Structure 1
């Protein structure tokens, strides 16, 4: 009986060993060394899907062009995208799936700051090289030295629009109308106020609202009484369109100013173009910029997706190119090598010349767009470029 027990014990140990070897080899085999896996997560459905779809398309186009022109990477590129619906919970689940199940090498995303912050924390823990095309909140890249962004940060665009209002438009007074509780809106409002005053302007009013508000008439009555030269509204296009209609109805004559969240406002106001006609907003690029690299991108995007690319698409495209060039430069998918290659980025892209500061934020210019009505339809026109 004792010998029998010893025999079965030996068999059990051998079986455990075999299972360990098989499971280990299975893990190794699941990582296809002939394939580079680029993971991404965007809001492809939900309230901010206009951002996520455009950013996804931009990345997809960059990869498509890279493969068609015979990039230097000797491996197949697999682009794996998950829909996070604009939800932080879904964003975390999507990222974990990409890392744990798909075994991605690098990550691109997300689109808005809330979901990107959630993902950045996880990416820092797992040391996955990551770049967000469009999340502008300052803390995003503070999560880890593996986290980069292709867009400028909130404080930068707020300050640049404050400078633009005071120096280019010669505005003496401004009212700020911001979304209380939104880190994006509050952060931009703060730096606009600071820089506008530094350049000789006076803030004659600060009014706030919340995401739940629909009627702004009482707030706008205050703004009308303040009679500012410019009315600065740092928020996303859906809310801006709603406010701008009521600004026009109340009879406010101030010049409207905005930021990159306005990209998409034309689609919301084409039935009432007077609401935002003559407004200016900061953006990452202008579709009518004559530079060859910009027009090539615009034309290629239109050919593939049947529409003019917005700034989110351009940033997605640039983020894709940045990642591909870093992988080329690194010559490996080893995380530290890719991260170090990303840090040395110094190239002209569609949204401008990009190199990274010590916080892995890009040092780049801002395009100012003017909304003009042409034959009864709103159009975005390149107005000027503000250098950092």
Structure 2
């Protein structure tokens, strides 16, 4: 028994000697750790976090099947922040200080990101955000010598640019209206919508709002209908938007309806029903049927997560890990400064699920995706599918104003 207890201490020098014989340092013989910190259970955005976690896990599996990084195995360290900023802050501290991760992927909620950005920035640990959309996330430290915060996700202002570009071409009577929830999220959305529509030389014919827990929006919709709007942009979360769709049905007013990517969450489908849910068209970066890589990843994720309503989060998380892996390979190191510099300046072309990433980041731009990468989607037969029509095919870069 005593001999068994001594085995680890006897083996350690042999492992170190073997590593040196292979030209590896002791540090290089250890696993490379990537952290994941996102809501997977606590809020309405949790299913985005669950999907992102599966994308994260599958990317690491693929990296290890290909031999790992720098001759070392990659290990994912996963934390659920339950959508709560204090818990998310605690997770980040543990991942960086105790787990010694080389980089972090996450979070789901923008508020959580904004609560802990200072931690990886101070400790020089790169973070790639695969879900949260608040514009300020990558901007807070943009003027620092090195900004360690990157993103592979939708961005609020960029989504608005796409929605307005489509609305301008979709409206037949040039009457576009907005309706948003009364939260800061919804009202910031109205501000962005108003500003971007003005760039097109237009103004909303009606702007209404509703409480995020409201179930009857018929009075607001009646005002929009009476204003003559044939195109409506909705800025709210999926559960409230489902009630909005039901209110539209009640008064038989179903204009062209557009929204943000949050509409791909299952509350929209479950509350509005499959047929009505198909009425709203929303922004996304990819869908399960967007390309062969998306089809393949979706099939793998569905083995673990059969419902998979938010495939886009899995795809963006998968791509985030692949970009980190490309940076580690190119830098030949897991040092935070070297990884950050490589992400900005030295990444080789990297094939992802969403797209082929060619110099995705630059010194003043840490957004891997822009409006040119976004698409429209809608629910179809209980799944999120890419949406195309004559308008989407006619949209050009000049149509996107922001």
Q: Which residue is 2:261 aligned to? A: 260
Check the 8 A contact 2:63/2:74 in 1, yes or no: no
Counterpart residue number, 1:315? 316
Task: Judge which range, 246-255 or 258-267, deviates more.
Answer: 258-267
Any residues of structure 2 matched to 1:231-380 within 5 Å, and which?
231-265=232-266, 268-269=269-270, 272-289=273-290, 291-308=291-308, 310-344=311-345, 345=347, 346-354=349-357, 355-357=360-362, 358-364=364-370, 365-372=373-380, 380=385
Give the distance between the partners of 1:51 and 1:370, measured in 2 at CA: 17
Between Structure 1 and Structure 2, how many residues are aligned? 354
Alignment partners' CA distance in 2, 1:221 and 1:148: 43
Whole-angstrom CA distance in 1 between matches of 2:273 and 2:38: 30
Deviations 1:65-102 (A, max 9, x none): 11113244311212111110011111111111212221
User: 1:168 deviation in Å?
Assistant: 5.0
Contact 1:111 1:133 in 2 (8 A): yes
Q: Please say if residues 105 and 333 of structure 1, whose CA atoms lie closer than 8 Å, have aligned partners that are also in contact.
A: yes
Rounded to whole Å, the distance in 1 between the matches of 2:278 and 2:228 is 18
Moved more, 341-350 or 30-39: 30-39
> In the alignment, which residue of structure 2 is the partner of 1:182?
184
Which residue in the other structure is 1:35 paired with?
31
Whether contact under 8 Å (2:288, 2:384) holds in the other structure is no
1:136 counterpart (120, 130, 133)? 133
Secondary structure class of the residue paired with 2:367: coil
Q: How far, CA to CA, are the matches of 1:235 and 1:267 in structure 2?
A: 11
Contact conserved, 1:174 with 1:228, CA < 8 A, in 2? yes
Residues 286, 381 of structure 1: 8 Å contact kept: yes
**TM-score calculated relative to the size of structure 1:** 0.83
Query: For the residues of structure 1 that align with 2:113 and 2:344, how far apart are their CA atoms?
Result: 20
The match for 1:150 is 152
Q: Secondary structure at the match of 2:205?
A: strand
2:162 to 157, 160, 167: 160
CA distance in 1 between counterparts of 2:173 and 2:163 reads 11
- The two structures have a TM-score, normalised by structure 2, of 0.80
CA distance in structure 2 between the aligned counterparts of 1:39 and 1:378, rounded to whole angstroms: 29
Greater strand share, 1 or 2?
A: 1
Counterparts of 2:74 and 2:60, CA distance in 1 = 8
Shift of 1:40: 1.3
- CA deviations on 1:173-217 (whole Å, 9 max, x unpaired) are 11111123323x333333333333433544111112333434433
Write the distance in 1 (CA, Å) between the matches of 2:105 and 2:207: 36
The alignment partner of 1:203 has SS state of: coil
Aligned to 1:20: none
Contact 1:165 1:171 in 2 (8 A): no
* Contact 1:224–1:251, Cα closer than 8 Å, also in 2: no
Q: Distance in 1 between matches of 2:117 and 2:70?
A: 26
5+ residue gaps, structure 2, are: 1-25, 142-146, 398-402
User: For structure 1, which runs of at least 5 residues remain unmatched after alignment?
Assistant: 1-29
- Please identify, of 219-228 and 192-201, the stretch whose mean Cα deviation from structure 2 is larger: 192-201
On the 8 A contact 2:151/2:367 being kept in 1, the answer is yes
CA contact (8 A) 1:36 1:76 kept: yes
The answer (yes or no) to whether the contact 2:225–2:253 under 8 Å persists in 1 is yes
SS in 2 for 1:110: coil
Separation of aligned partners in 1, 2:280 and 2:228: 16
Q: Does 1:56 align with 2:57?
A: no
Judge which range, 316-325 or 237-246, deviates more.
237-246
Instruction: Work out which of the two has the higher radius of gyration on C-alpha atoms and give 1 or 2.
Output: 1
| Map of 1:4 onto structure 2 | none
Q: Distance in 2 between matches of 1:310 and 1:248?
A: 28
- CA drift at 1:356: 2.1
CA RMSD of aligned residues (A): 2.6
List per-residue Cα deviations over 1:288-334 (Å, max 9, x = no partner). 22x33222222332344445561111111111111111111111111
- 2:21 aligns with none
Contact 1:244–1:275, Cα closer than 8 Å, also in 2: yes
Tell me the distance in 1 between the aligned counterparts of 2:211 and 2:280: 22
Corresponding residue to 1:382 among 367, 373, 387: 387
Question: Which of 71, 84, 89 is equivalent to 1:87?
Answer: 84
